[in-house]
Every structure is written in C-alpha cells, then in structure tokens.
A and B are shown apart, each in its own frame.
Chain A
Amino acid sequence: MKQTKRLVILGAGTAGTMMANKLRKELDRDEWEITIVDQVKTHYYQPGFLFIPFGIYKKEDVIKPKSDFLPIGVNVIFSEIDKIVPDENKVLLTEGSRVLKYDFLIVATGAKTAPEETEGLAGELWYKDIFDFYTIVGAVALADYFKTWKGGKLVINVTEIPYKCPVAPLEFAFLADAFFTNRGMRDKVDITLVTPLSGAFTKPKATKLLSSLLEEKNINIIPDYNIARVDNKEKKIYDYADQEVAFDCLVTVPTNMGDAMVARSGMGDDLNFIPTDKHTLRAENHENIFVIGDAANIPTSKAGSVAHFAGEILTENLMCAIEGRPFTASFDGHANCYIVTGNGMGTLIDFNYDTEPLPGTFPLPGVGPFGLLKVTRMNHYGKMIFRWMYWHILLKGKEMPISSQMSMAGKKL
C-alpha cells in the first residue's frame, strides 16, 4: 500500500475554499489527505461590503458559514496559524501547538487592512468620523453613520498600493453620489477621491472613461497623493510634502498587508506578500509551496476574479509538480471586474499582465454580451448576479463560463 501524502491549504477564503474543492476532485482519496486551516469560521462575501454603507446589502447578505462550502473528504481545522517552517515541510498551529506535515503546501491567507500603519488613522476619530469599508465592522459602522449624517466634506483616501479590488474606491464614490442625490442632499456633500495613483485608474483607456464619470458626477480627484498622517483634532490628512486635505468624514482604504503569519515564517516582502512566480504561481524560494490569491506578490489586481482564474492554472501546475513533469500552465494575470457606477448602471473591465482594459464587448455564453468600458444596465445586473455565482459556482470550484486566459474576442484596439 502506498504511503498517504499530504496537501495542506492555509486559508479558507475565496482562493483556499476554491482550491480545496478543485483538488479534492483531482487527487485520489486513498493517496492524498487534504487539510485546510483557517482561524475564522465565517465566510465573508467581500465584494458585498461596498454596498453595506448605502443600505443596499445588510450584514446577513454577505456572510455564510465556511463549512458550508468545504467538500467532504477534506480535514478542516479552525485555528490560528503560527508559522510555516518551509525547510522542514511543516506548519505550526497556535491551537494546541499542533504540527501539520505536508508534501505540498498552498498558501491562500489573503490580505487584510492595517490602519495602524498610518499615523493617526486608527486614532480617536476611528469609527466616529473615519471609517473603512473593507471590514464588516467598518462597513456596518459607516452605514449607521450615513443614516444621520448632515453632509460636509466626504474624503475617500487610498493609502497605499496594492490594495484589494482596485475599482472599489471609485465605486464607493459613484454610489455615494447616487445615495446623497437620492436623499436630496447632494448639494451638501462634497466628494473627493484622494489617491496615490496618477489618475482614476492605472491604465490609459480605463482612466479616460472613469475620469469622465467622476467629472460628470461632480466628484473631485486629487492624484499622486501619498498620505503620511491624520490630524484627528483638525480633521485633516497630510501627505509627505505637508499638502493638507480637510475632511468631515474620511473613508479610508488602509494599507493592505499579507497575513502576519507570513512575516513570522520569514517568507514575505515589505508588506508580507509572498514572492511568487507570476506565471507558474509557485513560491519563488520553495519548490513545494504554491501561492494563490491576495497572499501572492504577483503584479495583478488583488481580487476574487484573479484568484478564480489563477485557480485553474494552479490546479494544473500542482498536478505537474506532483507527477514530476515540467509546468504546463502559465498564468496571464487575467482580471475581470464589474464596476457599479450608481443608479442601477455599471461598466466592465477585462485585462491581464500585458493587455490594458479595452473597450468593446465581452461575450458570455447564455447571458452576455456585456459592454466593456461602457456604462450599461446589463453590467449592473452582472455585478449583482455575481453574488449568486460566487456562492454557488465559484467557491465550489465548478466551471464558470469564462476562460482563465484572457481572450481578445470582442475587444477593440
């Protein structure tokens, strides 16, 4: 009888859950034991957080038990992870000082917000006049705050790159515009997006469309701004050149960092993201460790769609590694993001490492086509329908009708 081999997955978020589902089907049950570890029992549908401050979603719309999505035949351990000891092929858990040995390891521990990285951000105004919407607590606190807010300067600030879901701050601005317009108080709310990017987005064609939307909706933008500190008394933010921006309500996208476990394992960069080969998805310094989702330092968006596309590549390459063959799959950095623009409208961008978001149409069998870089009602439905697809198809690791490699079909150069 063959000796049992062990695959360990760290993190049961979007990427980890999806990989557990895919690989339980792929790997022989008699030969491979799969264990997944996470410290939290609740699965959050993070793309839904954006809608909570505006009362479109409630907390219960974005949470479900993690165990509902993990397949039979996978050991599930709820524990904090102390660290990985890559040289000894083992993971140390905090709970009961357990040790997990592995033959192959997948790290999917994601990224989290770290407001404490910015001086004064998590200070006395935190959750009083300063909020984030990247945590369930922040999003719910902001929803309560907006219910009675009388208006003033609403400043949306992105602290540092990279951050999860790069279009979310723009969507937040668009939804805020619609929300305060519908409440008949848009004239009392001054909306400003303050970002370290040189414009509304990074790539020229998408920036052009998104900038014109900001202008149309009377949303100000201050680009090239790297926040240094928050003055809680004066209610102002300052950058490193002491350029100040006053706020009444500050909505922050704090610094995003990989899990502290990565730092404890000595495997991360400055921001605790793991150096990862952007095509093979293998950790740069470790033969039997793969990294997927926000935990990796690969130069693409930190987003669920990226984790989804990367999942197919990782499955194929892991099988290659197990069977001792050269890697056959190569990740192209594919990302696909619906962008809500307010009042039931939306747009869509589809891009990868080498191809910027282009205009045109996006074919989707049975449902599409969707308009790329066009504001349409259909794109809004795409975003809203996605929540259903997320719970029922994506997390379960089932086939989605979108190829993992970006396609040029429908795109106009």
Chain B
Amino acid sequence: MSQKEYAGVSIAVNDEGYMTESSQWTEDVAKAIAAEEKLELTEKHFAMLKYIRDRVAKGESLTIRGIGKSGIVDIKEFYQLFPGAPLKKATKIAGVPKPSSCI
C-alpha cells in the first residue's frame, strides 16, 4: 500500500496502482490517472467511468458482457475508449478495484 500524488492530492493506491479509497476519486484524479495511460478523457469516457463506479458501489460484478449491455457503449467502442485491456484500464481510472475473475 502506498500513496501517490494525482492532481495535487495524495491518493492511496495498491501495488498495481489501483486506488484503495474509492471516495478519494474526483474527475481531476481520473484525468491524471488517464494521462499516465496516455488517454485523454472525453464525455463518453466519463459516462463509462460513472457506470462502472455505480455498478461497483452496488456490489455488482463487472464483466465485458455487462459493459456491452450498459446502454452507453457496445463492447467494440469500449475497446476503443480504453485500448489494450479495457476492463483493467477503465477500473483503474474509475478508482475501483481491479475486477477479480472468479472462475
């Protein structure tokens, strides 16, 4: 567990850089984390981040399939918004834990 400065605020993060105190999240913090991932956040990004934060707050699990049914983006657009490993990247920027795959 360590602290990292984003947008002038000291933020608690774990070894993989995921925020551990979701309440510390602000849009500016998100922008700063996104910048590290070389992403500039648009309104669509923020809509997706909000969706992810809401789901996690309700204790629901995040899946690629669920994102596709979010009504905000389809899965292909989600990949375009957060290229590479989209779910991992999006959760990191949304200030929620990395989705654990329970298999």
Contacts and interface: CB of A to CB of B under 8 A. Distances in A.
A270 B103 contact: no
A166 B75 contact: no
A160 B65 contact: yes
A270 B63 contact: yes
B1 interface: no
Contact of A270 (B69, B76, B86): B69
B51 to A, nearest CB: 14
Q: Which of A226, A271, A299 has the most CB of B within 10 A?
A: A226
A301 interface: yes
A197 B83 CA distance: 17
A224 B83 CA distance: 12
B61 A299 contact: yes
Given A160-B64, A240-B78, A270-B66, A202 B103 contact: yes
Interface of A is mostly: loop
A301 B103 contact: yes
Nearest to B102: A299
A413 interface: no
B76 A300 contact: no
A241 B81 CA distance: 11
B64 A241 contact: no
Given A196-B64, A240-B76, A241-B79, A224 B101 contact: no
Contacts of B86: 240
A163 interface: yes
A161 B66 contact: no
A300 B79 contact: no
B100 interface: yes
Interface string A30-74: 000000000000000000000000000000000000000000000
B41 to A, nearest CB: 19
A162 B65 contact: no
A228 interface: yes
A198 B84 CA distance: 12
A198 B102 CA distance: 12
A228 B75 contact: yes
Q: Which of B78, B79, B88, B100 has the most CB of A within 10 A?
A: B79
Q: Which of A160, A166, A270 has the most CB of B within 10 A?
A: A270
Contacts of A161: 63, 101-103
B16 to A, nearest CB: 11
A161 B103 CA distance: 7
A224 B64 contact: no
Interface residues of A, number: 21
Contacts of B78: 240
Interface string B41-79: 000000000000000000001011110010000011011
Interface string A188-204: 00000000111001100
A300 B102 contact: yes
B100 A226 contact: no
A162 B79 contact: no
A196 B65 CA distance: 12
A327 B79 CA distance: 44
Contact of B79 (A202, A240, A301): A240
Contact of A240 (B66, B75, B103): B75
B83 A241 contact: yes
B76 A271 contact: no
A226 B70 CA distance: 17
A302 B76 CA distance: 28
A166 B103 contact: yes
Interface string B21-47: 000000000000000000000000000
Interface string A305-349: 000000000000000000000000000000000000000000000
B62 to A, nearest CB: 11
Nearest to B100: A202
Nearest to A241: B79
Interface of B: 61, 63-66, 69, 75-76, 78-79, 83-86, 88, 100-103
30 contacts: A160-B63, A161-B63, A161-B101, A162-B103, A163-B103, A166-B103, A196-B64, A196-B101, A197-B101, A197-B103, A198-B85, A198-B88, A198-B101, A202-B101, A224-B85, A224-B88, A226-B64, A226-B75, A240-B75, A240-B78, A241-B79, A241-B83, A241-B84, A270-B69, A271-B65, A299-B102, A300-B102, A301-B102, A301-B103, A302-B103
Closest 6 CB pairs of A and B: A299-B102, A166-B103, A240-B79, A224-B85, A241-B79, A240-B75
Given A228-B76, A241-B84, 16 more contacts: A160-B64, A161-B63, A161-B101, A162-B103, A163-B103, A197-B101, A198-B85, A202-B101, A202-B102, A224-B85, A240-B76, A240-B78, A241-B83, A270-B63, A270-B69, A301-B103
